[in-house]
């Protein structure tokens, strides 16, 4: 940092490197790559884990915490580094019940735009503590360590999976839209369309993963999903079957293969079932590649967020991941993704930073008051614009273009 200050260079930061938009690759900027900086320590008295930013949530952090009987709701994809994940809010395991991962940041060690190492929490450098929880790649500091609140490792994980033909998409999703807020907050609810490894085409999966301590608790928590009126027309059903975190992570690893090209976009959705279901139909039922999948992720009922930069959410999160290995199809597939997202526009409240690419599409991602406050803190903390900030095709406005 001091070298950049001395030379007048801008700075970009990379931790885990898991970025659809390659946020950290910037022209005429010094890249500070923390990928090789791996440290973990756990305090059994405070139950706080300290981790450097490139530590991978699923592959490294939780296996380490598991030896102490503890857990942190890191990213679903096990290879995701915790740095960018946490700075963007962190939609981790069972976010609907346990909250955003950034809510469990107790403190951060940060190198500021002045080249000073500081410890930020609720009472010290509280402006940086506030901004770091949601600013994402727009943060104006180099986080070197996170101090994270952990939780007990659930003693019994179970999952329910119903697979339906796409011909039942409207019926099943309308039912799910009307009931997901009634399910126990110990259950992560995800609907997705995906092509099974041995399948001829995509199917609609309605899934629930319960994070409980006993089989009886799991069965009770998952029971509402078993009451699906279309269950007798499912292609197959698994209900309250015991599983492990390792099994769930392996499923995520298979669905998100490395060494491929990814085009990703997302939306926070609002509206009635009659409005939302038709709007998401294209993204769910017209898969342009075999590995493409779209998720519907429940955040209902919404919880009040703490005072932090992350401040935009809705009861339903929708994201599409176009996965392929043909560079010549990039433009075609991006065009399909743009059409799918455009169909959602009437029910879109904004987007989540973690699955966004501002070089292609920029929507509202933060509350208006929080956005204004973030700009004020940046002007004070980084007046010379040392940190490159958001990578975008134009200026970042934090608005939905159709509302301007």
Residue 397 confidence (pLDDT): 94
- Domain 156-355, what fold? Vanillyl-alcohol Oxidase; Chain A, domain 3 (3.40.462)
pLDDT at 178 over 80: yes
Residue 49 confidence (pLDDT): 99
What order of strands is seen across the sheet that includes strand 156-164? Answer: 236-243, 156-164, 203-212, 187-194, 293-298, 316-324, 261-269, 348-350
Q: How many CB atoms lie within 10 A of CB 395?
A: 7
The percent of residues above 90 in pLDDT, for the chain, comes to 95
Residue 20 confidence (pLDDT): 82
Residue 199 confidence (pLDDT): 85
CB 108, CB 147: distance < 8 Å: yes
CB 140, CB 381: distance < 8 Å: yes
**Average pLDDT of the residues in 319-347:** 98
Q: What is the mean pLDDT of the chain?
A: 96
Confidence of residue 18 (pLDDT cuts 50, 70, 90): confident
Work out the burial of residue 281: count CB atoms within 10 Å of its CB; fewer than 13 is exposed, 13-18 middle, 19 or more buried: middle
Residue 184 confidence (pLDDT): 98
Helix H or strand E segment including 242? strand 236-243
Which CATH number, 3.30.1330.50, 3.40.50.2300, 1.10.3720.10, 3.30.465.10, labels domain 2-153+363-393?
3.30.465.10
Kindly report the length of the chain: 404
Residue 21 confidence (pLDDT): 86
Report which of residues 303 and 404 the model is more confident about. Answer: 303
pLDDT at 404 over 80: no
Task: Sketch the domain layout of the chain as residue ranges.
Answer: 2-153+363-393, 156-355
The set of residues, in sequence order, having a beta carbon less than 8 Å from that of 166 and lying 6+ positions away, is 193, 201, 202, 203, 204, 284, 285
Confidence of residue 16 (pLDDT cuts 50, 70, 90): confident
The set of residues, in sequence order, having a beta carbon less than 8 Å from that of 300 and lying 6+ positions away, is 96, 180, 181, 315, 316
Residue 153 confidence (pLDDT): 97
pLDDT at 158 over 80: yes
Listed in sequence order, the DSSP H helices in 256-329 are 273-285
Per residue in 245-263, pLDDT (tens digit) is 999 999 999 999 989 999 9
């Amino acid at each position: 940092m001091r070298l950049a200050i001395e030379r007048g260079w801008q700075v970009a930061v990379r931790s885990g490197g898991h970025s659809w938009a390659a946020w950290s690759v910037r022209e005429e900027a010094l890249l500070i790559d923390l990928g090789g900086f791996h440290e973990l320590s756990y305090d059994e008295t405070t139950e706080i884990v300290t981790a450097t930013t490139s530590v991978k949530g699923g592959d490294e952090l939780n296996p380490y915490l598991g030896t102490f009987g503890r857990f942190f709701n890191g990213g679903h994809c096990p290879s995701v580094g915790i740095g960018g994940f946490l700075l963007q809010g962190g939609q981790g395991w069972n976010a609907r019940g346990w909250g955003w991962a950034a809510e469990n940041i107790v403190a951060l060690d940060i190198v500021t735009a002045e080249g000073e190492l500081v410890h930020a929490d609720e009472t010290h450098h509280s402006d940086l503590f506030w901004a770091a929880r949601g600013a994402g790649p727009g943060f104006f500091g180099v986080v070197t360590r996170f101090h994270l609140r952990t939780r007990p490792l659930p003693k019994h994980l179970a999952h329910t999976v119903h697979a339906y033909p796409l011909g039942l998409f409207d019926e099943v999703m309308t039912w799910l839209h009307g009931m997901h807020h009634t399910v126990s907050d110990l259950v992560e609810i995800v609907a997705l369309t995906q092509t099974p490894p041995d399948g001829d085409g995509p199917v609609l999966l309605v899934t629930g993963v319960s994070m409980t301590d006993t089989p009886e608790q799991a069965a009770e928590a998952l029971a509402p999903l078993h009451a699906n009126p279309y269950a007798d027309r499912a292609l197959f059903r698994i209900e309250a079957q015991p599983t492990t975190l390792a099994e769930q992570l392996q499923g995520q690893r298979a669905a998100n293969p490395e060494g491929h090209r990814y085009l990703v976009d997302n939306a926070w959705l609002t509206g009635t079932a009659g409005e939302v279901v038709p709007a998401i139909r294209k993204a769910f039922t017209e898969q342009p590649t075999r590995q493409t999948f779209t998720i519907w992720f429940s955040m209902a009922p919404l919880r009040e967020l703490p005072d932090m930069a992350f401040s935009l959410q809705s009861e339903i999160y929708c994201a599409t991941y176009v996965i392929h290995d043909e560079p010549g199809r990039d433009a075609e597939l991006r065009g399909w993704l743009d059409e799918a997202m455009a169909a959602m526009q009437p029910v879109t409240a904004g987007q989540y930073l973690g699955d966004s690419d501002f070089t292609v599409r920029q929507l509202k991602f933060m509350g208006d008051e929080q956005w204004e406050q973030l700009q004020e803190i940046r002007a004070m903390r980084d007046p010379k614009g040392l940190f490159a900030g958001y990578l975008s095709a134009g200026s970042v406005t934090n608005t939905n273009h159709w509302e301007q």
